Structure 1
């Protein structure tokens, strides 16, 4: 046994001898992902092919900035916004959905704005839902999205194109975007980065919509523990209303399960399951599966509950939506959500100390449906339709 271990250590030492620190970190990253990534089967990613493609490329890397760019390119193989580095460059692409302000889809080789993030650059600049986009930064779109498409396959899916398009239109940190729109046969130019959203926003917004309906919106704040007290105060204020609407359309950065359970706990009278978790134990060729529960807390709101979601409802926002649906406690209204995969875990590469996060657990609705496949019971196509549905509540 000791002899075998010694041989393995000699082999590993000889394998790494002569490698640059970037090659070592690339191999470490590949191995960490290979051992821990939870969605290879679902996404059908050929991870061995990825290693084959990128191994010769990493040999050309000579400095940290080039390595960051190299890693950012490789992360596109996952075509999902829940996989990212913990560092970036001025030239780096913005992360979706948190860095994204317009949702674009391909339709018969043309590209259309399907949704807008209200109050952000694209919306403020005058771009409209339904606009056809013809150029991005004066260049045709088809060639530009190729850099965001996975290289391990030539059969690109709708999800891959959607990811690539929205990465392109999110833009980079250092280049202001110019969007060319064809509207009713006329060409218009828009500059979303010239108009910035209001930076200081309260953790939540509340208002009374009518005599029977109150409204609570989270402003990308379900990762800030201070929001719990503010939310409790709002629910206490609206405890006798017929309806409460919880707006999760502006939660792209996700949050944490403590806040999620505190939110849901105000609307139930007994302990109930809200989400399923699943993780692989590859070493033993088995899986772990467990249920997460919500426990009642403080005074219960017993009226009607509505939850509105959208393309900027991400991660824990998605968890809250499927949780309320699984509890059969709320009607969920809106578009598909951000479809961010799983529960993430952080890792750090040894040589460069660059961190990254990947989903290591699969998440499901309590009925067994993958979280990323959830669709609201009252579906809409965009935020404008969602608002119309919301305003019907009486």
Structure 2
């Protein structure tokens, strides 16, 4: 395939411009504590509590200060004297803690905007706009670690300055690294003390484990509370029980309560939760381990792919080039046939709506090595030799044999025959719409546009619809949806209804008692742009990673008359998940919304089949041959 010219625009890079990226992973513990504090109910900080807080923080060399300002990153912000606040600073003023009580919502919004000095600077991890644990990078030679957050009652800022650290190089010296590590550890300790003072005791079950601060196993009560919370939310809100008729949810409760009460490690507990969740067969219903437990696993840089005649190694880091040749076929894992190993050891813990996605995710987890365990792969090399390789916890830092392109929100190319190529990798932010708007006039100069959604895992459906409005020549409709509805009194009245019900209200009561009464919403009708209309044929590329809001885009595009799709089945899962907290900083989500085509056709649990089904084989993948795109280019 000949390209007339290469990439014109690569938008949305999460690059750090040569700054030492190894620092950012170490900010995650602080982010987890911040996320917990922001999502918790906090105590009212009265005078007695304030005095106790001031007294306790002296142990960390933080003392009450009458300074009229607080540093937010490198910004000096004046403290308003009419606010109720606490300001603690170290004698050398390299560390500080500021707590400001929120008086009302309007004032809170105005004040919060003044605190958000990180806006536009990617230097850490953001929690839903209500907090950031970050390095301040305005000046690469005046660095500080900061935690700025808004809770239900307070605006809080923590800071530890690093006067001897410079981020103007690609890596830190050993002295600089030690200073960063000590500062981060100090700030984490202060953060934990703050949580102990402000968070209600009943919330502490959800506090992140964070190995540097907390190293304990959950109690039987904590394990049971987490399970019952998840089980209850599923019972009343899960949207796809009819797709798993073999699952008796009441029996699940009876079977697993004794298992929750048995002594076990935190990892074993979360493995039980994922096993329960996986039985629901839904890609938008998941259990997520706390980061502290995820870090106990080692993932060698090895990528596997499933093809018609088996599972193959399709990419590795250069360290494994001679050890695990590309194109080798996996025969066994730990001396067990590979498909048997997957079925017994991995697939029972995978939440997915379709079998092919379940297998894909299983392959991503096949090379996961839990702490203290081993992994031995037996494989057939391309030249027909059977070999085995045992992995160790060696930290491989070499690059991939076939490098992956740097991620971007959107990528644009001009191809041969006046065909434009637009790859949209996310609908998670409105910025992707802004990126597209910058390109729309250029796109309009081509004869055809290929939109590639193969790596688009979703986001907000509205962003996809907004882009589609530029191409549609007529109003189009989105998916229709429904969600389960529970009114307690209807369930109570059902006791007095004799079956079969005669009146409509009686039917509603019986359906509610069975958990099968639904609120239904018709499709939305989207009006396209007339004056901004781009009149151009579309071809849409799909794949197994085309998910959620990207699938919603396909439903709407089908309604708009854009039915030329090429590639593989989509992910087969969308909806609106309900998120809940689990013990130790873990979480879960439950799909509460059931989407279908406007005419009622189901795609969740099945995937959307493209008009032209094109599946690359192992030879195409190893040669980096994009046969899906080539097929699309040949369409007339």
The reply to whether TM is greater than 0.5 is yes
How many aligned positions are there? 356
User: Which of 159, 167, 170 matches 2:365?
Assistant: 170
After superposition, give the CA deviation of every residue in 1:250-298 in whole Å (9 maximum; x if it has no partner).
113x211121111211111343212111212144442122213333246
1:268 aligns with 2:472: yes
After superposition, give the CA deviation of every residue in 1:161-205 in whole Å (9 maximum; x if it has no partner).
862563244346656987654347444679999655547433211
Which residue number in structure 2 is paired with residue 40 of structure 1? 241
Q: 1:198 to 1:378 in 2, by over 3 A?
A: closer
1:250 aligns with 2:455: yes
Q: Secondary structure at the residue paired with 1:78?
A: coil
1:288 aligns with 2:516: no
User: Which of 337, 340, 344 matches 1:140?
Assistant: 337
Q: Check whether the contact 1:344–1:357 (CA below 8 A) recurs between aligned residues.
A: yes
Q: 1:293 to 1:178 in 2, by over 3 A?
A: farther
Q: 1:184 to 1:39 in 2, by over 3 A?
A: farther
Which residue number in structure 2 is paired with residue 209 of structure 1? 415
Q: Secondary structure at the residue paired with 1:266?
A: coil
Which residue number in structure 2 is paired with residue 343 of structure 1? 576
Query: In the TM superposition, what is the alpha-carbon distance from 1:312 to its structure 2 partner?
Result: 1.4
Q: Could you list the runs of 5+ residues in structure 1 that have no partner in the other structure?
A: 1-17, 152-156
Query: In the TM superposition, what is the alpha-carbon distance from 1:90 to its structure 2 partner?
Result: 2.3
Moved more, 210-219 or 161-170: 161-170
1:320 aligns with 2:525: no
Q: Secondary structure at the residue paired with 2:630?
A: helix
TM-score, structure 1 normalization: 0.76
Q: Secondary structure at the residue paired with 1:258?
A: helix
Tell me the C-alpha RMSD between the 2 structures: 3.8
**Structure with the greater alpha carbon radius of gyration:** 2
Which residue number in structure 2 is paired with residue 25 of structure 1? 226
Q: Check whether the contact 1:257–1:316 (CA below 8 A) recurs between aligned residues.
A: yes
Q: Secondary structure at the residue paired with 1:301?
A: coil
5 Å matches for 1:96-175? 102-104=304-306, 111-112=310-311, 127-128=326-327, 132-136=329-333, 139-141=336-338, 142-150=340-348, 159=354, 163=358, 166-171=361-366
TM-score, structure 2 normalization: 0.49
Q: Could you list the runs of 5+ residues in structure 2 that have no partner in the other structure?
A: 1-218, 488-511
Moved more, 204-213 or 367-376: 367-376
User: Which of 366, 370, 377 matches 2:598?
Assistant: 366
Which residue number in structure 2 is paired with residue 388 of structure 1? 630
Question: In structure 2, how many angstroms separate the alpha carbons of the residues matched to 1:100 and 1:160?
Answer: 22
Q: 1:158 to 1:330 in 2, by over 3 A?
A: closer
Question: In structure 2, how many angstroms separate the alpha carbons of the residues matched to 1:51 and 1:193?
Answer: 44
Which residue number in structure 1 is paired with residue 156 of structure 2? none
Question: In structure 2, how many angstroms separate the alpha carbons of the residues matched to 1:35 and 1:139?
Answer: 40
Q: Check whether the contact 1:248–1:307 (CA below 8 A) recurs between aligned residues.
A: yes
Which residue number in structure 1 is paired with residue 544 of structure 2? 311
User: Which of 275, 279, 284 matches 1:73?
Assistant: 275
Query: In the TM superposition, what is the alpha-carbon distance from 1:337 to its structure 2 partner?
Result: 1.1
Q: 1:31 to 1:120 in 2, by over 3 A?
A: farther
Q: 1:37 to 1:27 in 2, by over 3 A?
A: same
